[in-house]
């Protein structure tokens, strides 16, 4: 007990007895059930939430404020990299599949999803975007070399399968000691490790299974759009942004040589 601004102040602190409990849920019960009874019994008391609870609330508010901005910046960066809105949209749409692994992982370990779990999800999103960029960039390179579209998709998926899987396996293997750690000091890291490990496994599998078919489906949409506007059928390679960019560069080179 001490005094602040001529008012008596009592600090009450506690720690979770079980890692499976959610600090947010516990604080919610305290706010709605315990605190009203105390205020009803003792008039003139002010309750201030500080410490970890205050920092968690500030962090959550910051995430709500800046996460949409970050996702938009990532989307525009990927769009500029691929010169394709649809390819960037496919990459971004693969991120939510990581939530499947996150939910399953927390359920298997009996852990509540917390703010630290969200940090793990953000890390998964970065890895998924990176792996998708590698696969799509490889496909675009094959297309620029003159390879047919479906063969480029197939060869890019095969050639990038091993690096992507090795990245996932090594990352998950490195996180397993933290996931199964029983010491009290490591308990606050477990939700983030579980989210990253299981989210990465789910996102990698769904990316390898869904990204190639989605690329083919988008190519079909482009061909249909081309037929509607131009009135002529287009080859799968003709409508791909990488091929268009390569042809534009080749057409500019003779003009520069003549100048």
pLDDT digits (tens, 9 = 90+) for 214-229: 989 988 888 888 888 8
Choice between 253 and 116, residue whose per-residue pLDDT is larger: 116
pLDDT at site 64: 74
Q: What is the mean pLDDT of the chain?
A: 79
Q: Which CATH superfamily is domain 59-251 in?
A: Multidrug efflux transporter AcrB transmembrane domain (1.20.1640.10)
The percentage of the chain sitting over the pLDDT mark of 70, rounded to a whole number, equals 82
Distance CA 130, CA 98 (A): 14
Work out the number of other CB atoms within 10 angstroms of the CB of residue 116: 19
The three-state (H, E, C) secondary structure of 126-193, written as one string: HHHHHHHHHHHHHHHHHHHCCCCHHHHHHHHHHHHHHHHHHHHHHHHHHHHHHHCCCCHHHHHHHHHH
Choice between 70 and 205, residue whose per-residue pLDDT is larger: 205
Residue 183 reports pLDDT greater than 90: no
Q: What distances in angstroms separate CA 163 from CA 50, 73, 120, 121, 135, one per listed residue?
A: 45, 26, 21, 21, 10
Q: How confident is the model at residue 2 (pLDDT cuts 50, 70, 90)?
A: low
Distance CA 240, CA 221 (A): 11
Choice between 175 and 64, residue whose per-residue pLDDT is larger: 175
Decide: helix, strand or coil at residue 1: coil
- Domains of the chain, residue spans: 2-41, 59-251
Cβ 161 vs Cβ 208: under 8 Å: yes
Q: Which of 26-40, 86-100, 171-185, 245-259 has the lowest mean pLDDT?
A: 245-259
Over the Cα atoms of the chain, what is R_g?
Answer: 26
Residue 21 reports pLDDT greater than 70: no
CB under 8 Å to 164, separation ≥6 — which residues?
A: 131, 134, 135, 204, 207, 208
pLDDT at site 155: 93
pLDDT at site 58: 66
Q: Which of 28-37, 88-97, 186-195, 197-206 has the lowest mean pLDDT?
A: 28-37
pLDDT digits (tens, 9 = 90+) for 119-175: 888 888 888 888 888 888 899 889 888 889 899 999 999 998 988 898 889 989 998
Residue with structure tokens 């960037």?
88
């Amino acid at each position: 007990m001490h005094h602040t601004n001529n008012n008596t102040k009592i600090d009450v602190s506690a720690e979770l007895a079980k890692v499976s409990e959610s600090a947010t849920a516990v604080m919610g019960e305290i706010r709605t059930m315990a605190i009203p009874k105390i205020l009803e019994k003792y008039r003139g008391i002010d309750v201030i939430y500080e410490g970890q609870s205050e920092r968690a609330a500030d962090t959550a508010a910051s995430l709500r404020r800046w996460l949409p901005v970050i996702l938009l910046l990532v989307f525009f960066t990927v769009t500029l990299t691929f010169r394709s809105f649809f390819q960037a949209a496919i990459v971004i749409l693969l991120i939510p599949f990581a939530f499947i692994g996150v939910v399953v992982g927390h359920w298997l370990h009996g852990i509540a999803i917390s703010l630290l779990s969200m940090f793990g999800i953000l890390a998964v999103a970065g890895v998924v975007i990176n792996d998708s960029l590698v696969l799509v960039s490889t496909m675009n390179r094959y297309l620029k070399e003159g390879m047919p579209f479906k063969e480029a998709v197939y060869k890019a998926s095969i050639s990038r399968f091993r690096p992507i899987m090795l990245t996932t396996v090594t990352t998950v293997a490195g996180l397993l000691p933290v996931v199964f750690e029983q010491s009290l000091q490591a308990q606050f890291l477990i939700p983030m490790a579980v989210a990253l490990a299981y989210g990465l496994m789910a996102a990698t599998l769904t990316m390898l299974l869904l990204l190639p078919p989605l690329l083919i489906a988008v190519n079909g949409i482009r061909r249909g759009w081309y037929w509607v506007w131009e009135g002529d059928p287009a080859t799968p390679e003709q409508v791909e942004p990488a091929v268009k960019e390569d042809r534009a560069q080749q057409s500019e080179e003779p003009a520069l040589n003549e100048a």
